[in-house]
Structure 1
Amino acid sequence: MGAVKSKRMPRAVREQQMLDAAVHIFGQRGYMAASMDDIAELAGVSKPLVYLYLNSKDELFTACIRREAKALTDAVRAGVRTDLPADRQLWEGLLAFFAHTLQNPDGWAVLHLQARTHGEPFAAEVTAMREELVAFVTQLIAVAAREAHRDPSSAERAERTEHEVAGLAEALVGAAESLAAWANTTPGVSAKQAAATLMNFAWAGLGNLMDGRAWAPPKS
């Protein structure tokens, strides 16, 4: 009876089952050690069916990366309410990021560990996701910067602020990635704790910058 039910399953649902199984196997064992036999067994389908749907191990892995990347970026965007003050928007974005990565450790392992280390096509997929997150964070910080400096004293200052915002967004996303990797391997760390850690680390500096109290290196 089980085999009959499997045949009647809609293609989209069956494909998601295969991707679920593949993300788990890739996340737990790594790309090189993962086998199509194990993925098919966990998905409850035959190996030829996996190949029929997803063509090859490389294409299956790419499909996993794309699905997990979209799920993460969608979660972060959905977590931010744009009617809130800048610090609350950043807090909610970070909270959504850490909640998703902690709830989906295999997906995060695929994105943060496996995809980056097994060739340019896979790494490029993750780079695209990261660029989307950086652009989103840049937008959040830029809004706060514009509100804090509605009347920049010069074009040079405006340009400098723009560069600072872009750099801060890159740094913040990089810190979030590293902290998520730590949180996923440290028992007892919640999404709220991880988000609060990064807010405490980042917002004091961001707040000072927004208020025009930027730290400056000593003159040599």
Structure 2
Amino acid sequence: MPTNSTSEPTKDELKAAKKLLKAQEKMMLEAERARERVTKAALEVEREAGRTRMSGHERREQLINVARHLFAEKGYEAVSVEEIAQWASVSKPVIYEHFGSKDGLYAVILDRETRELLDTVTSNLKPGHPRTMLEQAVYAFFTYIDEHPDGYRVLLKDAPAAKGAGAYSGLVNDIVDKCETVLADAFGRFGLPRKSAGIYARTLVGSVALTGQWWEEERHISKEEITAQVVNFVWNGLTDLKANPTLTTNKKTI
């Protein structure tokens, strides 16, 4: 009679696993507290700035900065106009004067961050070897996350459908379209079916986007390292593409 080759974990292994889990939970808690301290410090800076006289443009930028910090930390629904006004050291009518409503302010932030991310990625795509272009695009994406953490969190957080829900998914789709165009051109040159470009574009962009969400929270490896790891994975997959891939097992058994 066959024996089960899988053995139960020992007490020492279970103990080590629990210890590791506790350490990870502690690190996540400390990271969250650090983020809260940074957000509060940034808001305090904006509050101090709000007490000085500003031009209309300066005031508008200050309100955007304050609201972006708050939306990133709490989400759209949890932030009120009163809270934004309090942190900006202004009255509520000032916010209405510039943006009309909280919805209007949120829409401005979404539009700005969407354009910032797209511009960051596309402006770094210089003509060259496909691997170089891939590295440029991935590095630019992680650069945006690194330099605009509040903006990236705003893009990721949920919002009412009429106020921009799906902004991030819509942005990802825009990047997919651009990626599909690049891949279709490359596939044509290398004898691969151009119609498959859409599948690979979604696989590529989707994997990078999910990795970006994970890295935004973790940050225990450098931007350079995570870019190198992602490019290593993606490029080695792309360079061995088959024109007509098939399953290695009987489809009925999957």
- What TM-score results when the alignment is normalised by the length of structure 2? 0.71
Match of 1:79 among 111, 117, 124: 124
Runs of 4+ in structure 1 displaced over 6 angstroms? none
Q: Does the 8 Å contact 2:81/2:102 carry over to 1?
A: yes
Alignment pair present for 1:110 and 2:158: no
Alignment pair present for 1:145 and 2:193: no
Quote the residue 1:27 is aligned against.
Answer: 72
Secondary structure of residue in 1 paired with 2:210:
helix
- Structure 1 residues 164 and 81, CA gap change in structure 2 (3 angstroms): same
Q: Does the 8 Å contact 1:90/1:140 carry over to 2?
A: no
CA RMSD across the alignment: 2.2
Quote the residue 2:53 is aligned against.
Answer: 5
- Structure 1 residues 215 and 190, CA gap change in structure 2 (3 angstroms): farther
Which one is further off, 167-176 or 60-69? 167-176
Compare CA radii of gyration and give the structure with the larger one: 2
1:207 partner letter: T
Quote the residue 1:185 is aligned against.
Answer: 217
Q: Does the 8 Å contact 1:134/1:169 carry over to 2?
A: yes
Calculate percent identity across the aligned residue pairs: 27
Match of 1:164 among 196, 205, 219: 196
Unpaired runs of 5+ in structure 1?
150-157
The 5 Å alignment of 1:26-105 reads 26-82=71-127, 84-105=128-149
Counterparts of 1:94 and 1:65 in 2: how far apart (Å)? 21
Quote the residue 1:133 is aligned against.
Answer: 175
Listed one character per residue, the Cα deviations across residues 62-120 of structure 1 (whole Å, up to 9, x for unaligned) are: 111111110000000111112x11111011001000111122111111111234xx325
Higher relative contact order (CA 8 A, sep 6+): 1
Quote the residue 2:16 is aligned against.
Answer: none
2:73 partner letter: Q
Listed one character per residue, the Cα deviations across residues 151-170 of structure 1 (whole Å, up to 9, x for unaligned) are: xxxxxxx7xx2332111111
Counterparts of 1:215 and 1:124 in 2: how far apart (Å)? 33
Q: Does the 8 Å contact 1:18/1:50 carry over to 2?
A: yes
Q: CA deviation at 1:3?
A: 5.9
Quote the residue 1:153 is aligned against.
Answer: none
1:144 partner letter: A
Q: CA deviation at 1:182?
A: 0.7
- What TM-score results when the alignment is normalised by the length of structure 1? 0.81
Counterparts of 1:105 and 1:111 in 2: how far apart (Å)? 10
Q: How many residues align?
A: 201
